[in-house]
């Protein structure tokens, strides 16, 4: 890193999945603020997913945010994290709820996925229905002035770089962008930076931070696995990325609907990311 990089640092906005810390919003936000974050990625509270919170719970969470002067980086919805053979109207309803919460919390970003496929079928078999369903979700996002962030989750249609690219370019909307997750790429046999970065960079809008070990699939702090985090973060810096870096550590538990780390392991994940960013002259705010 050059002296000029130190004198003119790039700044990214730190965030994190609060429900990886605790079910209690007060604890979620206290820990995030102690780690230097002023934003939270909202996936759930009180053991309930964000799309299933009642209006009263949403208002209670909003009051906590206001009291702590905390912003919301994105709504981490589960939309599209279901089998493609399900009722597409169910996902439209879940997205409509995520959009309502996003409007209430003042964010345009909503994370989503591109559907699991039935056992015994190939990605090619489900491409057409996936594109149809994602296009319908994207049209709703366009009308509501929000941006869908497709996460490259393992075992969904868009789990490898080529299909993420196919999905985003085939739908062809500014309301559908990518949330980059290095660990998920590792878990499907992809070398994230080598195999996917150049291809997908035009579509990367948001960074979710976790790493994984290729041999076992185990999730580890940033820089401790095979996710090529340092290469990716350096390239994002050089390409002018100025968005969110959202911690999703999964260090204690990971499952189909989310993960958990607890305050101590979440802090370990935050320090690992901070160490990488310090090496490349990127600050967080």
Mean pLDDT of the chain: 94
74: nearest Cα among 245, 212, 262? 245
Q: What pLDDT, on a 0 to 100 scale, did the predictor assign at position 253?
A: 58
Q: What pLDDT, on a 0 to 100 scale, did the predictor assign at position 23?
A: 95
What is the C-alpha separation between 227 and 85, in angstroms, rounded?
Answer: 32
Q: What pLDDT, on a 0 to 100 scale, did the predictor assign at position 132?
A: 97
Q: What pLDDT, on a 0 to 100 scale, did the predictor assign at position 88?
A: 84
250: nearest Cα among 279, 221, 282, 283? 221
236: nearest Cα among 202, 211, 213, 191? 202
Using alpha carbons, list the distances in angstroms from residue 13 to 36, 39, 200, 261, 277. 10, 8, 21, 21, 12
What is the C-alpha separation between 263 and 214, in angstroms, rounded?
Answer: 26
**Percentages of the chain per state (helix, strand, coil), in multiples of 5:** 45, 20, 30
Q: What pLDDT, on a 0 to 100 scale, did the predictor assign at position 1?
A: 47
What sign does the dihedral 98-229-187-269 (CA atoms) show?
negative
Is the whole model's pTM more than 0.75, yes or no?
yes
- Which residue numbers in the chain have pLDDT < 50? 1-5
Q: What pLDDT, on a 0 to 100 scale, did the predictor assign at position 204?
A: 98
**Run of H or E including 255:** strand 253-255
Side-chain half-sphere CA neighbours of 268 within 13 A: 15
Q: What pLDDT, on a 0 to 100 scale, did the predictor assign at position 250?
A: 79
Dihedral of the alpha carbons of 27, 29, 31, 34, in degrees to the nearest 10: -140
Q: What pLDDT, on a 0 to 100 scale, did the predictor assign at position 7?
A: 58
* Count of beta carbons in the 10 Å neighbourhood of residue 230: 16
108: nearest Cα among 141, 70, 68? 141
Beta-carbon contacts of residue 24 (< 8 Å; ≥ 6 apart)? 45, 46
Q: Which domains does the chain have, with CATH numbers?
A: 3-284 (3.20.20.150)
Q: What pLDDT, on a 0 to 100 scale, did the predictor assign at position 3?
A: 38
């Amino acid at each position: 890193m050059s002296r000029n990089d130190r004198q003119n640092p790039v700044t990214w906005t730190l965030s994190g999945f609060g429900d990886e810390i605790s079910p209690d919003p007060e604890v979620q936000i206290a820990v995030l603020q102690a780690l230097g974050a002023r934003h939270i990625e909202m996936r759930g509270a009180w053991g309930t997913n964000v799309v299933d919170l009642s209006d009263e719970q949403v208002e209670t969470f909003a009051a906590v945010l206001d009291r702590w002067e905390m912003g919301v980086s994105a709504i981490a919805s589960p939309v599209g994290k279901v089998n493609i053979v399900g009722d597409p109207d169910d996902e439209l309803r879940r997205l409509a709820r995520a959009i309502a919460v996003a409007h209430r919390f003042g964010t345009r970003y909503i994370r989503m996925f591109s559907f699991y496929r039935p056992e015994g079928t190939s990605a090619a078999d489900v491409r057409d229905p996936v594109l149809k369903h994602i296009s319908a979700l994207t049209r709703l996002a366009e009308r509501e002035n929000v941006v869908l962030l497709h996460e490259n989750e393992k075992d969904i249609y868009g789990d490898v770089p080529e299909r993420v690219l196919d999905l985003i370019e085939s739908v062809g909307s500014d309301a559908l962008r990518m949330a980059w997750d290095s660990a998920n790429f590792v878990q499907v046999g992809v070398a994230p930076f080598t195999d996917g970065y150049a291809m997908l960079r035009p579509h990367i809008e948001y960074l979710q931070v976790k790493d994984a070990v290729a041999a076992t699939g185990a999730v580890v702090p940033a820089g401790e696995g095979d996710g090529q985090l340092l290469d990716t973060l350096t390239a994002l810096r050089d390409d002018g990325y100025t968005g969110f870096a959202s911690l999703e550590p999964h260090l204690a538990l990971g499952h189909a609907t989310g993960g958990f780390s607890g305050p101590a392991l979440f802090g370990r994940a935050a320090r690992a990311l901070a160490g990488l960013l310090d090496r490349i002259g990127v600050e967080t705010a």
